[in-house]
Amino acid sequence: MRQAGGGPVISGATRLYVVLGDPVTQVRSPGLLNPLFARLDVDAVLVPVHAKPADLARVVGGLQAIGNLDGIFVTVPHKTAAD
């Protein structure tokens, strides 16, 4: 779903995906998946979340409490911690 300005329409029904990393400025997956969600008319958004390694367990714990969270992707340096 897109609004007139080209960005996604985000509502209470929107499904949320996050990609955790430290840093997240290099993350490209939102630029790939968010347009795909829109093209397929999927009410979802992927958001990069900057999570420092020392905070990873707390961040994941908090995310697990979010009712509309459908997935967590991990990138550097958390890939090895997620194994």
Annotated catalytic sites, by residue?
79
Q: Are 20 and 56 in contact (CB under 8 A)?
A: yes
CA atoms within 13 A on the CB side of 65: 5
Question: Taking CA 12 as the corner, what is the angle to CA 10 and CA 18, rounded to the nearest 5 degrees?
Answer: 65
